[in-house]
Structures are given as C-alpha cells and as structure tokens.
Amino acid sequence: MEHLTAEMIIEEIPGVRLDSWVQENVMIVPPLFAYTDLAGPHISYFPEGHQQGIAISDWVLAERVPGYSTDIASAWKVVETINSRGWQFCIRMDKDGRVVAESGPQDCNFSNFFNDGDFFETVPEAICKAALLGIVEQEK
C-alpha cells in the first residue's frame, strides 16, 4: 500500500488513483488482486511477495473500484463509513461554488473550517480528500 501524504492527496485529481486510495485506506478493501477501470487501462495491485498468476493476468478476479471521487452516491458511502467509525464529517460550499470538507476522529474545527483552506471543485472530491486527510492526520 502506498504511503500517502497530505500533499499527495490534495494534488491528486479525481479519478481511478484517488478512488483506489479511498478503497484501500478508508473503505479498508485490501488490494488483493486487481482493480480495473471500465473506461480504460487496468491498474493492478498484488500483495507483497506474490507473483502475478494466470487468474490475475486474465482478470478473472477483477472488479471495478467505485468512482468515489466523481460520483456523489459512491462518495456518500465514504461519509457513511467515516461516520460508522464515530468520526465527524463537515462540508461547506462557498459563494463561488468551491467545496471544502473536514473529517477525522476529533470534532470538526470550525475556527479553521471557515477560513480559506483547500477548496475543491466537486463534493465527491472534497469528501474523498477529507476522509484521506483525516486518516493521514490520525497516523501522525
């Protein structure tokens, strides 16, 4: 599993890579075999120490990673997962339509929440990045 930093998370564009980070770190689905994107190239994950086997190379065990960072229904599953851990989740949109979100085991910090922070273009992107940033913060 890739070690994530706050900078990596903030800079990553919505899509397959961000979705796979959410799948592995928030939804806790281990990268055992292969995750694919129906629209394009395959991204393969193999457990440490395993060789690529015939079943994997034939995509027999492949599945599609949900579009957490682009689809609001999938992103809301991230919110539900975060809430099931007892974490707070806060989201707001400014007058220009930019979105900021915050999540973590502590209550949302409203003093910082209303300052200019890391704004994102869409709600699903903000949800995913807030969840991942909460996990990175917890690991410190």
Digit-coded pLDDT (tens) for 33-43: 444 444 445 44
* pLDDT confidence of residue 30: 62
- 71: in domain: yes
Give CB contacts under 8 A, 24+ apart, made by 8-14. 9/129, 9/132, 9/133, 9/136, 10/118, 10/129, 10/133, 12/129, 14/69, 14/70, 14/122, 14/124, 14/125, 14/128
For the question of whether the overall pTM of this predicted structure is more than 0.75, the answer is no
- 1: in domain: no
Domain of 68? 6-139
- 12: in domain: yes
Q: What is the spatial distance between Cα 95 and Cα 135, in angstroms, rounded to a whole number?
A: 28
32 against 82, higher pLDDT: 82
The average confidence (pLDDT) of the chain is: 75
Number of domains in the chain: 1
- 100: in domain: yes
Averaged pLDDT for residues 82-93:
86
Averaged pLDDT for residues 50-67:
55
